[in-house]
Amino acid sequence: METTKFILIGGGGHARVVLSIIEAQETSILEGVFDSNPKIEALDGVENFQNYNPDLFPNALAFIAIGDNRIRKQLTQTIQHAFGVLIHPTASIDRLSLAGEGSVVMHHAVIQRGTKIGKHGIINTACSVDHDCILGDFVHIAPNATLCGGVQIGDETFIGAGVVVLPQIKIGKRVIIGAGTVVTKNIPDGATVIGNPGKIIKSHGAI
């Protein structure tokens, strides 16, 4: 069986979880890490080569292992490797759902039928994403969040831990939904929302 080789861009805590997903797949290995922080010599035993070098490990797939949506987006412009997709074996993804390149689906997450996840998305630990949801690029759904059926989320939006989004809600681009919020109505671009029910406490509009 052919082995899939990866490199990680980023060597922090999020990257450690991503590495655990690679390790959980019998046919995947991590070749190296690229993080410019000189204090990081290795990531759980895998060498940190610091500044990204496209000539190293040319046959590996790259994965940007950084939780911040904007930084992840910026880095995609600098990477010359092809991007991979990582899904933990305990995650459940319906056969008619899709995850875009550079995306990760973490431990015990559930993605139901007809859902589409854009590029470089993060579906974090134990998330529940129900049927027919549409997530844009560079979206991060934090641990234990629940998206009910038919939810739409714009690019670069962050959904905090334990958030509940009711069915058919539309959330704009670059939105921040605070942990534990219950989203009961549509949210415009650039808003920050907290509470139960969720209330907009800051709105920057389209950015």
Catalytic residue among 88, 120, 131, 140: 131
pLDDT at 202: 81
Full strand arrangement of the beta sheet holding 158-159: 86-87, 104-105, 122-123, 140-141, 158-159, 176-177, 191-194, 199-203
Band the pLDDT of 205: cuts 50, 70, 90. Answer: low
Residue 59's contacts (CB-CB under 8 Å, 6 or more residues apart) are 5
- Per residue in 78-121, pLDDT tens? 999 999 999 999 999 999 999 999 999 999 999 999 999 999 99
Q: Tell whether the model's pLDDT for residue 62 goes beyond 90.
A: yes
Average pLDDT over residues 18-38: 96
140 has catalytic annotation: no
> Measured between alpha carbons, how far is 53 from 49 in angstroms, rounded to an integer?
8
Q: Tell whether the model's pLDDT for residue 129 goes beyond 50.
A: yes
Alpha helices in 9-83 (DSSP H): 13-24, 69-76
Q: What are phi and psi of 85, to 5 degrees?
A: -120, 140
pLDDT at 203: 81
Count of helix runs (H) and strand runs (E) in the chain: 2, 24
Is this structure's pTM higher than 0.85? yes
- Per residue in 148-170, pLDDT tens? 999 999 999 999 999 999 999 99
Structure tokens at 22: 């690679």
C-alpha separations of 181 from 91, 161, 172, 195, 198 in Å: 24, 9, 16, 5, 6
Name which of 62, 32, 26 is nearest 45 in CA terms: 32
Percent of the chain with pLDDT over 90: 96
